[in-house]
Amino acid sequence: MGLFSKKKEEKSCCGSACTPEKMARAEAEKAAAGIKVLGSGCAKCRALEEATLAALGELNMDTTIDHVTDFSQIAAYGVMTTPALVVDGKVVSYGKVLKKDEVKELIRKVRG
């Protein structure tokens, strides 16, 4: 009776856009140290990036900020709501625009 048997479903995180190569690259980039802003590049994402730049300036840290806009890379972090802030591979905030002082505190917590 093949009518009631379950179909084998191919698992995919974001439809046909995800390939094993893209996911492997996203996982490798996720493990890299540094600070990343995840988001589409909207006004909220840019505001988070500006607050992060200001926070880094006050902390005297010479760290570049990567802005990740590729959905497969964002999904590799488990983030579904942007903008998000990632410090040294750890998602520290998502779904809201942080103020400079909030960003400073999160960076201090992660980097000790």
Interval 1-43: pLDDT, tens: 556 665 554 444 555 566 777 767 766 666 667 899 999 989 9
Q: Are 82 and 40 in contact, with CB atoms under 8 Å apart?
A: yes
Residue 59: pLDDT band by 50, 70, 90 thresholds? very high
Residue 21 CA to chain centroid, in angstroms?
Answer: 18
Residue 36 in tokens: 């990343």
What is the average pLDDT value for the chain, to the nearest integer? 84
Q: What is the pLDDT of residue 71?
A: 87
pLDDT tens-digit series, residues 70-86: 988 898 899 999 999 99
What are the residues whose beta carbons fall under 8 Å from the beta carbon of 111, sequence distance 6 or more?
87, 88
Which domains are delineated in the chain?
20-106 (3.40.30.10)
Q: What is the pLDDT of residue 11?
A: 47
